[in-house]
Amino acid sequence: MRATAEQLRALRQEVAGLERWQAEAQPRRVALGHPEMDAALGGGLEPGRLHEVFAAEPGDAASASGFAAMLAARLGGGILWLRQEQAGRQGGALHAPGLCEIGIDPARLILGVLPDPLAVLTAAGEAARCPGVGVVVAELWRTPRVLDLTATRRLSLAAETSGASVLLLRVEAEARPTAAQSRWSVGTAASVPLEAGAPGYPALSVALTRHRGGPPGGPWQVEWDRDGASFRAWGGGGAALSGPPLPAAAHG
């Protein structure tokens, strides 16, 4: 009887080892839908990692947070969005009907508004350890001192262990060395106009400024397709093009 139990344990270990090997060999990737972006990422964005999203310019806060929301929509699962009180005053409060318009059901999202960057990072660390969370968005304005390499490494390790993805949303911030898997710089782009010159679908100018295990890429002009919940090339919506894409904004 004991021999059987030991055999069973050995078998289990072997199977677990195989599974781990498989998991390491082929990390799961979530394709973003835009072929060039996916190619630059080697197939798609890795869930369970730390990714940084920078607003290219202070005025691009809404574009950057839109991009983070779109990535969260692609990655799936419950979303915990952590902000500072200051962010709501400067950049406007997160508006649930606007989340609907991007394709995120607000019922999936819990918003945390915290007093200071340290509280945001602490809460993000706690959330990143929780496997029941799909995406943790931590929005930090400027460059707080508490956000150093150690803090990001801690977040990154927690995300890898639990499988939750962490998106660090940075506005008016300067890039510092971090343990992030990828770093994006997001600016706005002119949309493809609809009938009667109406502003069209969300259009962004996105650059991959840093990527582990690959060269940086972009910038790309992308459009967000809410109904398909994916990115597509600018003007891919089939609307009439009225002019060439504008040059991308400066990337930091």
Partner 1 sequence: MAVETQRGAMRIVASDRRALALDIMPGLALADARARVPDLLAEAHDAHADRLWLERLAELCDRYTPMVALAAPDGLLLDVTGCVHLFGDEAGLAADAARQMAGRGLHVRKAFAGTPEAALALARFHRGPVVDEAQAVRGLPVAALHLPADTALALRRAGLATIGDLAARPTAPLSARFGAETTTQLARLLGRADSRITPRRAPPALVFAHPFAEPVGRMEAVLGALGELAAAAGAALEARGMGGRRFEARLYRSDGEVRDLAVETGAPIRDPAVLLRLFDARIDALADPIDPGFGFDLVRLCVPAIEPLTVAQLALGEAADPQGSLSALVDRLSTRFGRERFRRFLPRDSHIPEQAQRAVPALAAGPAHWPAPEAGEPPLRPLHLFHPPQPIEVLSEVPEGPPLRFRWRGGTHDVLRQEGPERIGAEWWHDVRRPGEPRDYYRVEDKRGRRFWIFRHGVHQAAPAPRWYLHGLFP
SS3 for 210?
strand
- DSSP code, position 27: -
Choose, by CB under 8 A, the member of 92, 176, 212, 241 that binds partner 1: 92
Determine if 240 is a binding residue for partner 1 (CB under 8 A): no
Which of the stretches 41-49, 99-107, 174-182, 211-219 binds partner 1 when contact is defined by CB under 8 A?
Answer: 99-107
- DSSP code, position 161: H
Whether 48 contacts 164, CB under 8 Å: yes
* Shortest spacing between CB 22 and partner 1, in angstroms: 17
Give me the count of residues in the chain: 252
SS3 for 178?
coil
Whether 82 contacts 112, CB under 8 Å: yes
Give whole-number Cα distances, 220 to 67, 150, 158, in Å.
13, 31, 31
Determine if 76 is a binding residue for partner 1 (CB under 8 A): no
Q: Give the number of other Cβ atoms within 10 Å of residue 64's Cβ.
A: 26
Residue among 55 and 178 whose Cβ is closer to partner 1: 55
Choose, by CB under 8 A, the member of 55, 72, 73, 109 that binds partner 1: 109
Calpha distance 31→214 (Å, rounded)? 16
Give, for 217, the enclosing helix (H) or strand (E). strand 217-225
Determine if 19 is a binding residue for partner 1 (CB under 8 A): no
Determine if 196 is a binding residue for partner 1 (CB under 8 A): yes
Determine if 65 is a binding residue for partner 1 (CB under 8 A): yes
- DSSP code, position 45: B
* Shortest spacing between CB 52 and partner 1, in angstroms: 18
Calpha distance 170→68 (Å, rounded)? 10
Give, for 91, the enclosing helix (H) or strand (E). helix 85-91
Choose, by CB under 8 A, the member of 62, 118, 146, 157 that binds partner 1: 62
- Which x/- pattern, by CB under 8 A, does the window 155-194 give for partner 1? -------x-------------------------xxxx-xx
Determine if 67 is a binding residue for partner 1 (CB under 8 A): yes
* Shortest spacing between CB 71 and partner 1, in angstroms: 12
* Shortest spacing between CB 151 and partner 1, in angstroms: 18
Choose, by CB under 8 A, the member of 127, 147, 166, 179 that binds partner 1: 127
Choose, by CB under 8 A, the member of 54, 141, 184, 201 that binds partner 1: 201
Choose, by CB under 8 A, the member of 30, 119, 146, 229 that binds partner 1: 119
Calpha distance 127→117 (Å, rounded)? 15
Calpha distance 206→225 (Å, rounded)? 15
Which residues lie near partner 1 (CB under 8 A)? Answer: 59-63, 65-67, 69-70, 78, 80, 91-102, 105-114, 119, 123, 126-127, 130-133, 162, 188-191, 193-194, 196-205, 224, 226-227, 246, 249
